Amino acid sequence: MHAFDEDFLRGNEIVVRRAHAGEHIVTLDEQDYEMNENNLCICDGEGPVALAGVMGGLNSEIRDTTKGVVFESAKFMRDNIRKTSRALGKRTDASAKYEKGVDEYTTEMAMRRALHLVEELGCGKVSSTHLDVNTGNPITPREMTVSIQKVNGVLGIQVPDEEILRIMKNLDFAPEIDGDSLKLQVPAYRTDIENYPDISEEVIRMYGYDHIRPTLLSSAKVTAGGLTVKQKTELSLKRRLCAEGMYEAMHYSFFSPADLDLLRLPADDPWRQAISILNPINEDLSIMRTTLAASMLRAVSRNQKAGNTEGRLFEVAKRFIPKSLPLTDYPDERDTLCACVWGDGESFFTIKGIADVVAENLQLHFDYVPGRKPFLHPYQCADIRLGEETVGYLGTVSYEVAGELNFQKKAYILEMDLQSLEQSYGRKPRFVPLSKFPDEKRDLALVMDKKVTCAEVEDCIKGSVKNIADVKLFDVYEGAQIAADKKSMAFTITFRPTDAELTDKMVDSWVNKILRKLKFMLDVDLRA
């Protein structure tokens, strides 16, 4: 209910109407609100005096000098009050009640009770003036007939008829049973009762939930539970990363447009095509993530500010890539891995090693080629390739981004699209018996153009001879002993025998074959 000061109701009338666009009201808590056509308001002869179902207006409040009081006891539509409360950002005790629904019977009884208390307490004289505007719906009990079999079917048990009669009688439903039919007189204040499921709820809450016994559906079968291949693979990957000293991070699926600015993304970058939230909690959580990198870098910043000057974090989460904007279909939700390391003991090769750990866990082989990301160091950034497809990137966080986030130590980050790797999920390593014969190793110092990469040389060597077990780089040299446009890279090549012991002659022939292919493919020479 609400009370108005009669002296401040202009025009001596009450009007219930929709607000005009841009119309204002100052509520009892002295807050000014601009309303729209969807907001219901209580008005006097000149303007709003209450925001219907939410709060009264300051201009008609009860004062110490009040002599005449007008009581209002009303019922409003639940959805209208809820929408008004949310649109204006104003939640009150009144709106909380009206959102759940108030019946007409209650409003009539409330008015009578209020007037009775005025007389009983001697605080005023009740006027004969009374205005009742209603829908015409009766406030007498309404008839309902439901099937007892359906009521018991919802509960999954057989409640004795006499118990149903007892319960419904105690709840003022005036029940009668005629065979399978349960006839009821639903009280006017029970607007929540609509059909037999509601009656089932009334019966069991009084009969006792302890009477319910679990039963297996007649058509159901017991099946062995377990994780899917995808779940098992991701769990295995997480455990492998934890074994590398990493901790799992979890961030919101939303971020801010400022995060995209932090990454120095150009205006036409695909990552800027993000889905906006219609009702964001705040500006920092207003769009869906198209990359995990921004959230991870801010987490690293918070850690470094808290004194954690070294650490390793990873996150497996979804990116939300819209097919078009504005949305016409569900977005593509891409499972993605993001990992970041920072501190004195970390380097570019640490984060590359994390990528190799992922490849090893999934029984894959990644190639690394020079890449470019605006938030990474231009000469310490690489794209991660699986065959001809780019599945991610890694690199050193640029000085500009690190400075904006107040990094005390360098940070190195990778992001990988796990969705592109799903075809390899579930692979298991194959056991290869150890050879009965010892491995043979050869060191080769090679001279090549500076533009030739280590990966190109390794791939060329491995593709030359099938008996190569491993190729490792152990030295890089640039200096006076070689040409200015050249560099020297030294590799240890491990040859593994299969059926017979390796001889020097066999290994020498393989080395020569490797050198010929390197010369033909990459113009690489043996260093003198």
Q: What pLDDT does 320 receive?
A: 96
Label residue 185 by pLDDT band (50, 70, 90): very high
Alpha helices in 190-228 (DSSP H): 196-207
Indicate the pTM of the whole model. Answer: 0.61
Concatenating the DSSP letter of every residue in 440-468 gives EEEEEEEEEETTS-HHHHHHHHHTT-TTE
Which residues, 6+ apart, have CB-to-CB distance to 279 below 8 Å?
none
Kindly report, residue by residue over 89-98, the tens digit of the pLDDT.
Answer: 899 999 999 8
Kindly report, residue by residue over 198-239, the tens digit of the pLDDT.
Answer: 999 999 999 999 999 888 777 888 788 889 999 999 999 999
> Domains in the chain, please, with CATH?
2-120 (3.50.40.10), 142-211 (3.30.56.10), 229-424 (3.30.930.10), 440-526 (3.30.70.380)
The Cβ of residue 414 has, within 10 Å, a number of other Cβ atoms equal to 23
Angle at 258 between CA 252 and CA 260, to 5 degrees: 80
Which residues, 6+ apart, have CB-to-CB distance to 447 below 8 Å?
482, 486, 487, 488, 524, 525, 526, 527
Kindly report, residue by residue over 228-254, the tens digit of the pLDDT.
Answer: 999 999 999 999 999 999 999 999 999
Kindly report, residue by residue over 414-447, the tens digit of the pLDDT.
Answer: 999 999 999 989 888 888 888 888 999 999 999 9
